[in-house]
Every structure is written in structure tokens, then in C-alpha cells.
Chains A and B, each alone.
Chain A
């Protein structure tokens, strides 16, 4: 099923993503070193000032930090160590949670973020595209106008602000849904029915706030794509042949979906940013919440670790979407497009 041309396409995409990933990690590596007034040395200075409180632990953390950031070694050694450590999954030791490893802190929270972000993004993409296509096919009717106007406004609502409104309305005013967290405090994660229902209840509000505000953008884009496609010659030709509208719509829908798939890959980074902030608003124990804590304590090894993992996840997701695209688009599958 997978042709030679497809392998070539996938290989090119893979090379591009690896180069991009190396550049992104280079940025993560360079930033603390090129920004004036080196924040790391400032952090070390403040660490030694409070060393009286728990001198041993803090001194150990300081020594560890010096070693892990490799200060004093030539820059290319530092860079090589950083990249090879990152590839082996060694992201260093947290300062605020010393002596826990950064990776051990990220792994338990990552599933919560994925559980929130992936289903919400896919549902929003699916609903938004269907709604947009519906409006596009019925151009200039009240359906089209209604969908377009609503989407123009809804697409501009930040996820987290909608989250705040939903918390206030459903959590505080009506009191029917929990106001934050991923499960009730004291209810420890387990594979029981009760826990599942509890998680689901906590899931509804953050999930809906992402789905609702992400939907609008897809609807606007899809409506435009459908209108463009409907203006193509093959549509006129099919109409002249007496083809049924339903069948034409099917072709138009398929062609309009292709750019939306590419769009999905490109939007993931922004969607992740929005989801991280939504987690903060909801006190949802995901990566965004961990990042927020790391930022407030200036725990740079943890901050860097979160970014290395998140950027890698984005690129992985990008690659998966590219792969699906190659499977769907006949021009790539049959190698007609160079």
C-alpha cells in the first residue's frame, strides 16, 4: 500500500522535523546563556543566600546545578552534553523539588495534558470543519450567516477566559460541576468506576472550554475552503453532467479537508499553549500547572525539561499528521506531486 514516493515524502518530512527539533533544543540551550545578566548565576547567588535554612540540601543542589549546566567548560562541550543528555532522557535535577529528577516530575503529569489536549483538539477540529462545510454549501443563507458571525466571535475567545466563565457559571452559580482539579482531593488515582466518574465530572468544563473556542477558527477556514472549491471548474462540469448535489458535495468536502489537515499540524503548538494556560485556570494537574510552578520558583532545569519534552511531543504529533496526510492525499500516495 505504501509506495516508493510515499516513503520519499515521509523521509523528507522526518529529516525536516529532526533538523527543526535540533534547532529548537539549541534555542532552549542558548537562551539562558546569551540573555544578559545570566539568570542562572543570579539563581545560584540567591540560593547561597538562603543556604542557612537547609544548607546541605541547597549546597548539594547548587553543586549539582553547576555540574549539569556545565559552567566553566567550553561551550561546545556544554552543548554536546546537553543534547546527548536530552536524547537519553536525562533532563537534569529539579531545584525546587531537589533531589527529584526532572523527568520523574514530568512523566506523571504529561498524561493529564494529553488527555485534555488531544481529544479536545480533535473534537473541535471535527465539529468545526463539519459546521464550516455546512455553512459553505449553503452560502448566503441564514445558516451561513449565523455560523460565520458566531464563529468570528467565538474563535476569538481565549480558552482560559471561557474556562473562567464556565467555572463561575456551572461551578459557582449552578454548583453542578466541580470548580477545578482533575479529581476530588483525597481520591487517589485508581482504576475504579467511582474514580472514572469523578475524573469525567472534572473533565467536562476544561474540555468544553477548549472545544468551543477552538471550533470557531476551523469553521471559518473550512467555510472559505468549500467556497473556493465550489468555484472550481470540475464542480461546474459535474453540475452540467447532471450529477447529484450530494455527490458533488462529497468531492468538494474531500478536497477542502486536505488543507485543514495541514492546518491541524500547524495549530498544535498554539493549541498546546492555550491548554497549558487553561490548566492553570482549572488547577488541572498537567504540564501547564507544573510549568507554572516551575516558573514561579525559577526552577530552570525543570522549565527547560518541560520545554524539551513538549517541543518533542509537538514534533511527534506533527509527524503523525503528515503521515496521515500522505495516506489520504492521492497526489502524494501515487507520487504525482514533486
Chain B
């Protein structure tokens, strides 16, 4: 089953390009800081230097190495995005599944709750929550972001499960005496697996973007360096008005590269698995 599922994916050019770009940045984040052993917080006298042999991406106002910051930043941002994505996916799956299986009043209540969160300007609530926390670790940031991006996923999961549950093969499996657990594993999970994976990928994007936004408004993680924190430092020191392009360009390029690679992966998966998009 898996072979027939994944083969067409690896024949899709877009998917491969997206995957390669993402893997490069994943490797930069994981292995980068281990290979390039410069302390990103070490201040030196070479301040505001453009890229050179000693500092491949130059230095900031305090003489800190931008490349070291960037590698550390990619690592933190990916971590926040991944964690926020897991949280959103878990909440969305639980609420969507409960709604579809239980129906009735539980469904009504859960769906009104979902719609309320969907219309709530989540960015604003996230900013508000973050403003009341004195210490914000990467995990706390991921939690704040993860708590608000699940509603559309929950609705989609509910709709898909409801349509699957009313199909004949599910009915037949029930008649054949399948346990609920076996039903879920064999009949339900395969139908939502690809959609969940695509959403997972997009939730990572939400987490990375959200972290950058919170950081720029001054509410990012209070310790460590992320891509958002790098941009915030650059804005605080007026890097763009003083022409220090090597400071604010790399973190933005990293954000755009990682998030668009993930978006391309999810779009390519949609093209492969969605019958309404399959080329005729």
C-alpha cells in the first residue's frame, strides 16, 4: 500500500524540489551549529562588518557572527514550528474525530467552539497572552501559537470522517465484527492520513511565521536566538536604514525558503492525491 502511495509522489518534480530545499535547511539547523562552531552570542570588536572570510555573513552591532546566529535561528524556528504543528494537529484531530463520531449535541457544541476560535483574531490573542508572560521559552511560544491554528483542520477532519463513516465498506467492516480500534486503523486513518500530513506541513509554516511575528513585536522567546529574534534585533538597530543588508536579509531568506518549500510540498501532495486536481 505504501509503495503505491509514495511512488507517484517521487515522480512529481515539485515535490522533489520542495523536499530537497526543506532537507537542506533541516540539515543546516541540526548539523550547522555542530560544524560551524562559533558562539552566536560572543561579542567581538569587528562590529557591523560586511561578509568576509572570518565572518562569512558579516557581524551585527555587537560584533556577533551572523552565520552562527542564522544556523542557531533556523534550528530554533524549525523547533517552534514543529512543536506548534504537533499541538495544533493533536487538538484538531481530537475535536474533529469526536465531533464526527459522537454527533448530536457534542458535535454542535464542539463545532460552535471551533467556529468561535476560527473567527477570533488569533494573532491578537497570541500577542496578548505573550504580553502577560515574563519568561517565554521556545516551548511556550509554540504552545501559544499551536492553540489557535487548528480550527479549519478540525472542521475538515470532521467532514471527511463523516463522509467515510457513511460509506458502505465501513458498514461492511462493522458487520464483519471489526473492533472500533481496527475500524479506525484500517478504514479511517488511511482516508485522513494524506490530508493530515499536508496540514501538518502547513502548521509548521504557521508556527515559523507566528514566531517571527511575535518576536518582531517584542514578544518572542526570551532566551535563545530564533529567526524572528534576529529580525527584531535588526529592526531595533535600524539595520535597513543604515544599509546593513547582510544582517536582515539572511533570516528573511531562511524563513521564506523553509516555508515556501513546505508549501510546495503540500501543494504537490494535493496534486498527486486529490482526484479533482489530477491531470487528465
Give the interface of A toward B (CB within 8 A): 16-17, 19-20, 23-24, 27-28, 31-32, 35, 37, 39, 42, 140, 148, 152-153, 155-158, 160-161, 164-165, 167-168, 171-173, 179-180, 220, 224, 227-228, 231, 266, 268-270, 272-274, 276-277, 280-281, 288, 291-292, 295-296, 298, 303, 307, 310-311, 314-315, 318
Q: Are B120 and A269 in contact (CB under 8 A)?
A: yes
B252 in contact with A161 (CB, 8 Å): yes
| A residues in contact with B132, CB < 8 Å | 31-32, 35, 39
Pick from B213, B241, B249, B263: contact of A156, CB below 8 A. Answer: B263
Most buried by B among A42, A155, A167, A277: A277
Give me 7 A-to-B residue pairs in the complex whose CB atoms sit less than 8 angstroms apart, sorted by A's number. A20-B119, A42-B134, A160-B216, A164-B248, A167-B241, A273-B121, A318-B119
- B205 interface contact, C-beta 8 A: yes
Q: Is B243 an interface residue (CB 8 A)?
A: yes
Q: Tell me which of A17, A20, A161 has the highest count of chain B C-beta atoms within 10 A of its own C-beta.
A: A161
B interface secondary structure, majority: helix
B116 adjacent to A23 (CB under 8 Å):
yes
Task: Given A153-B260, A280-B217, decide whether A269 and B276 contact each other with a Cβ distance below 8 A.
Answer: no
- Given A37-B134, A140-B279, A231-B276, A296-B218 contact (CB < 8 Å): yes
- List the B residue with the shortest CB-CB distance to A294: B131
Q: How many Å from the CB of B99 to the closest CB on chain A? A: 18
- Does B35 interact with chain A (Cβ within 8 Å)? no
Closest to A148 in B: B267
Cβ–Cβ contact A276 & B116, under 8 A: no
CA distance A315 to B267 in the complex (A): 31
Residues of A within 8 A of B267 (CB): 148, 152, 220
- A303 contacts B240, CB within 8 Å? no
The interface size bin for chain B is 35 or more
Interface: B127 (CB within 8 A): yes
Q: Out of B217, B263, B276, B277, which one reaches A291, CB within 8 Å?
A: B217
A276 to B213, CA, bound (A): 10
Given A31-B128, A156-B259, A158-B213, A272 contacting B205 (CB threshold 8 A): no
Q: Which residues of B contact A39 (CB under 8 A)?
A: 132, 134
Identify the 5 closest CB pairs spanning chains A and B, nearest first: A269-B121, A273-B123, A161-B252, A156-B259, A156-B260
Asked if B209 is at the interface of the complex by the 8 Å CB criterion, the answer is yes
* A157 in contact with B256 (CB, 8 Å): yes
CB within 8 Å of A: which B119-146 residues = 119-125, 127-129, 131-134
B residues in contact with A303, CB < 8 Å = 128, 131
User: Which residues in A have their C-beta under 8 angstroms from that of B218?
Assistant: 292, 295-296
- A281 and B216 contacting across the interface, CB-CB below 8 Å: yes
The answer, among B121, B234, B242, B276, for a CB contact under 8 Å with A228, is B276
